[in-house]
Amino acid sequence: MKNTLFLLFILLSGFLCSQNKEFLYEYKFIPDSADKKNVRTELMILNVQKEKSDFYSAEQYAIDSTMMAETKLGKMAMPPEKETVRESVTKYHNSDQILYTTFIMYDKYKVKQDIKLQWKLQNEFSKILNYNVQKATTEFGGRQWTAWFSKDLPIQDGPYKFKGLPGLILKLEDSHQNHIFELKGIRSGNDPFIYPDLKQYREFEMNYSQFVKKFKNYRKNPAADLVGRIPDQRDANGTLRTSDEIIREINKISLERLAKDNNLIEIDLLK
């Protein structure tokens, strides 16, 4: 067993030192459990570097990179009105701790979380993109998950917060197929990799239990943190709208949106 782990470490070190690798995943998910026909699809990137990996939306990365470039040129950078996956995950190869980055309203949250998944290897095998894969199962976030991993790619990593198998996870899905990640391609990455930081948001750092409390309060009262941050203002017709009126409207719209975002990947956050 020790010899096997040592060999895996040598293979992993050689693979990672050669160059950063970007693993491209198609992510299909159903945001609203009452509307199963509404399936969103997004391209996600697992960028594996020597000491860590970053998992993020390819489209959001392109948006942030463009906005940063425009900002450096002194231009007013405004994001497009398109919904993307804004969460990202940084995992460290020699640690159980991850860094989960997400947004609540207009604020950015960096959440430290320890994750050690209890995987059960199954005696089932298949092929994905010509790689030999084996089945494994685990529980996480209130869901049952099935992963197909490949020892041909000796990286103990995968989509989102999933890691810890003796090979890269090529496909991952929950038992109801509400969230499905599947590898679609591999390409060389840039070294060093730094995700663009727009510095346009208030940032908060916290542990996972603090985040859970914050998140649940947000789901109940989305606009709570906007009190005192939005001044009275006049609309296009010149009608004065007070800060309280604006915040009540934002809260109403946000609650309606959140009601249709009820099928989270970590469903136990809604309990």
Tell me: the pLDDT tens digits for 181-221? 999 999 998 778 888 888 888 999 999 999 999 999 999 99
What residues are paired with 22 via a beta bridge?
47, 187
Across 224-246, average pLDDT: 90
* Domain boundary assignment for the chain: 2-188, 209-270
pLDDT at 154: 94
Find the Cα–Cα–Cα–Cα dihedral 84, 180, 256, 213, rounded to 10°. -90
The C-alpha atoms of residue 88 and residue 54 are separated, in whole angstroms, by: 7
Query: Of all residues in the chain, what percent are helix, strand and coil, respectively (each to 5)?
Result: 25, 35, 40
**Both ends of the chain: CA-CA distance in Å?**
40
The C-alpha atoms of residue 147 and residue 137 are separated, in whole angstroms, by: 6
What does pTM read for this prediction? Answer: 0.89
The DSSP letter of residue 265 is: S
pLDDT at 119: 98
Contacts of 35 (CB under 8 A, 6+ apart): 260
- Averaged pLDDT score across all residues of the chain: 90
Tell me: the pLDDT tens digits for 107-118? 999 999 999 999
**CATH, domain range 2-188:** 2.50.20
Across 34-62, average pLDDT: 96
- Report the sign of the C-alpha dihedral through residues 63, 97, 264, 170, in that order: positive
Across 34-48, average pLDDT: 97
Tell me: the pLDDT tens digits for 74-84? 777 677 778 89
pLDDT higher than threshold 70 for residue 13: no
Asked if residues 84 and 66 have their Cβ atoms less than 8 Å apart, the reply is no
Residue 4 binned pLDDT confidence (cut-offs 50, 70, 90) = very low
pLDDT at 198: 82
Residue 5 binned pLDDT confidence (cut-offs 50, 70, 90) = very low
Question: Per this entry, what is the length of the chain?
Answer: 271
pLDDT at 190: 75
Across 7-12, average pLDDT: 38
Percent of the chain with pLDDT over 70: 92
* Helices assigned H by DSSP within 120-223: 208-220
* Phi, psi of 49, deg, nearest 5: -115, -175
Please, how many CA atoms are within 13 Å of residue 40, restricted to the half-sphere of its CB?
Answer: 18
Lowest mean pLDDT, pick from 25-29, 132-136, 239-243, 254-258: 239-243
pLDDT at 26: 98
Lowest mean pLDDT, pick from 3-17, 26-40, 149-163: 3-17
- How many other β-carbons are positioned within 10 Å of the β-carbon of residue 36? 12
Tell me: the pLDDT tens digits for 89-107? 999 998 999 999 999 998 9
